[in-house]
Amino acid sequence: MREGLVDPLEGGGRHRLLIVDDEESTRLLLARILSTELDAEVQLAGTSEQALRLTRNYVYDAILLDLLMPGDGGLAILRDLRSGPPNATTPVIVVSVVSDAGMIAECTAAGANAYHKKPVRRESLVRTVREQLAARTRGPAS
């Protein structure tokens, strides 16, 4: 663990999630769903700048990321995440109104682990986050 970074498993072992979305109502809804369903610690970022600051200083178990944001959009954040520690291997779940195949392919190529179109279905989102957390815990297949 790099000095100055927070280990998400310190202090109770709850999963640490980051939700990045410029719409406050979406951030709060997703936070309520995931903190309730997964008993997760959820942090919120409403701007690209906040997201980049948090992801450079904290280790997350999963990140939910909107694409359409003012300033650097979600795709730029995703590319920054994948460029190196501390969250280069953290599962990223894109949650966006954009649903064209080209954008989904671009997100996948940039390193997104999953893609959900807004509005999200609660059960589907919770299942995807659980799957990504389980895959991260298991590590790569041998």
Residue 100's φ and ψ, nearest 5 degrees, are -75, 145
**pLDDT at 28 (0 to 100):** 98
Measured CA to CA in angstroms, residue 17 lies from 40, 102, 105, 125 at distances of 7, 27, 24, 13
The pTM score is 0.88
Domain limits, the chain: 16-135
Above 70 in pLDDT, residue 9?
Answer: no
Question: Taking all residues of the chain, what is their mean pLDDT, rounded to a whole number?
Answer: 90
**pLDDT at 72 (0 to 100):** 87
Measured CA to CA in angstroms, residue 128 lies from 85, 91, 112, 132 at distances of 23, 10, 12, 6
Between 8 and 35, residue with greater pLDDT: 35
Above 50 in pLDDT, residue 142?
Answer: no
At residue 69 the predicted structure's pLDDT band, cuts being 50, 70 and 90, is very high
Above 60 in pLDDT, residue 6?
Answer: no
Give me the percent of the chain exceeding a pLDDT of 90.
82
51 membership: H or E segment, kind and range: helix 48-57
pLDDT mean over 35-45: 96
Which residue do the tokens 């959820």 mark?
A: 42
For the domain made up of 16-135, give the CATH fold. Rossmann fold (3.40.50)
End-to-end Cα distance, the chain: 24
Report the distance separating Cα 52 and Cα 117, nearest Å.
23
Above 70 in pLDDT, residue 77?
Answer: yes
DSSP states of 59-122: --SEEEE-S--SSS-HHHHHHHHHTSTTSTTS-EEEEES---HHHHHHHHHHT-SEEEESSPPH
Burial bucket for residue 41 (CB in 10 Å: 0-12, 13-18, 19+):
middle
pLDDT for 28-37, tens place per residue? 999 999 999 9
**pLDDT at 12 (0 to 100):** 56
Report the distance separating Cα 116 and Cα 96, nearest Å.
6
pLDDT for 82-133, tens place per residue? 999 999 999 999 999 999 999 999 999 999 999 999 999 999 999 999 999 9
